[in-house]
Amino acid sequence: MVKTGPDSELLCVGVIGAARGLKGEVRIKSFTADPGDLAAYGSLLDEAGNPGFALKVVGRHKEQVVARIKGVDDRDAAEALNGTRLYLRRDQLPKPDDGEFYFADLVGLKAVLQDGTDWGRVVLADDFGAGAVLEIELVDESRVMVAFTLANVPEVNLGAGHIVVVPPDGLMEPGEPEPAGPED
């Protein structure tokens, strides 16, 4: 498994999705600023750091790119890759401008509340399709998911090693108890 976080050498730039057609084309959710740039970086790596994912973008489908992968020539081979995360070495990507960062840079940062209270640390930063989300392991070792919006995370300070979190209303409220079932 690839190490993630600000010290990671590899950054996830896409995820292979479903096969498209019979000739080995795949849909890929790209995490690059311009999804079509995914193929411009050369051969990509898988989660184990194995090279060999040379892409040729052949189209777009909704928010995804459609690509051919060198050596993948039929639907069965394409379907076998579904869910494969694609990586680049950090030094292959442009250095972020001031105020910009890669999601991997957020993992491991301390999460503090607006008053400076230690709240936990970021254990995951991802976008599953409905918008970016952070998973935060709280100081009591429970975990919460917080939408990565300006309202919920008004400050990211990589230099200080923390983010400021404003938990959305109701996030920390206890849930309703489960109704008793017939066996209870």
CATH number at residue 22: 2.40.30.60
* Residues of the chain above pLDDT 70, percent: 91
With respect to residue 120, please indicate whether it lies within any of the assigned structural domains.
Answer: yes
pLDDT over 50 (residue 2): no
Give the integer Cα–Cα distance in Å for 16 and 27.
6
pLDDT tens per residue, range 74-122: 999 999 999 999 999 888 888 888 888 888 899 999 999 999 999 999 9
- Domain boundary, last residue among 52, 69, 92: 92
pLDDT tens per residue, range 138-150: 999 999 999 999 9
Q: SS3 for 75? A: helix
Q: Which domain holds residue 129?
A: 103-165
Give the integer Cα–Cα distance in Å for 162 and 122.
9
Q: Evaluate whether 102 touches 23 at the Cβ level (below 8 Å).
A: no
With respect to residue 3, please indicate whether it lies within any of the assigned structural domains.
Answer: no
pLDDT at 18: 94
Domain count of the chain? 2
Give the integer Cα–Cα distance in Å for 72 and 27.
13
With respect to residue 75, please indicate whether it lies within any of the assigned structural domains.
Answer: yes
